[in-house]
Amino acid sequence: MGGTVDNPERTAALRLEHLDRGFTQGDRRIDVLKQASATFYPGETVALLGPSGAGKSTLLHIAGLLEKPDSGRVILNGVDCDTLNDNERTRVRRMEVGFVYQFHHLLPEFSALENVMLPQLILGLTKADAQSRAKDLLATLGLEERWDHRPAELSGGEQQRVAIARAVANKPKILLADEPTGNLDPNTADRVFDELMQLVNEEGVAAVVATHNLDLAARMDRTLRLADGHLVEESVVVIGVDR
- Return phi, psi of residue 50, to 5°: 155, 150
When pLDDT is cut at 50, 70 and 90, the band that residue 241 belongs to is: very low
Q: Judge whether residue 242 has pLDDT over 50.
A: no
With both helix axes pointing from N to C terminus, report the angle between 112-123 and 86-96 in degrees, rounded to the nearest 10: 130
Confidence of residue 235 (pLDDT cuts 50, 70, 90): low
Highest mean pLDDT: which range of 3-7, 79-83, 192-196 = 79-83
Whole-angstrom distance, CA of residue 151 vs CA of residue 122: 20
Residue closest to 136 by CA, chosen among 147, 127, 126: 147
Assign 221 to helix, strand or coil. coil
Beta pairing, strands 79-80 & 97-100:
unpaired
Digit-coded pLDDT (tens) for 92-103: 988 899 998 877
pLDDT > 70: percent of the chain: 92
Which pLDDT score is estimated for 192? 85
Q: Identify residue 38 by its one-letter amino acid code.
A: A
**Domains along the chain?**
14-234 (3.40.50.300)
pLDDT at 1 over 50: no
Alpha helices in the chain (DSSP H): 56-63, 86-96, 112-123, 127-140, 156-168, 186-203, 214-218
Q: Which of 38-47, 122-131, 229-238 has the lowest mean pLDDT?
A: 229-238
Would the pLDDT of 225 be above 50? Answer: yes
**Residue of 45, 47, 56, 101 lying closest to 215 (CA atoms):** 47
- DSSP letters, 4-64, are BPP-SS---SEEEEEEEEEEEETTEEEEEEEEEEEEE-TT-EEEEE--TTSSHHHHHHHHT
End-to-end, the C-alpha distance of the chain in Å comes to 28
pLDDT at residue 177 greater than cutoff 80: yes
For residues 14-24, average pLDDT:
91
pLDDT range class, residue 135, cuts 50, 70, 90: very high
Residue that wins the pLDDT comparison between 184 and 76: 76
28-74 tens-digit pLDDT: 888 889 999 999 999 899 999 988 778 889 999 999 999 999 999 99
Q: What is the pLDDT of residue 3?
A: 44
In this predicted structure, what is the pLDDT of residue 237?
Answer: 43
CA distances from 138 to 33, 42, 94, 143, 184 (A): 36, 22, 20, 5, 19
Asked if residue 39 lies in contact with residue 12, where contact means CB atoms within 8 angstroms, the answer is yes
Residue closest to 50 by CA, chosen among 215, 189, 228, 195: 228
Q: Are 218 and 239 in contact (CB under 8 A)?
A: no
Where does the pLDDT of residue 116 fall: very low under 50, low under 70, confident under 90, or very high at 90 and above? very high
78 Rama sector, left if φ>0, alpha if ψ -120 to 50, beta otherwise: left
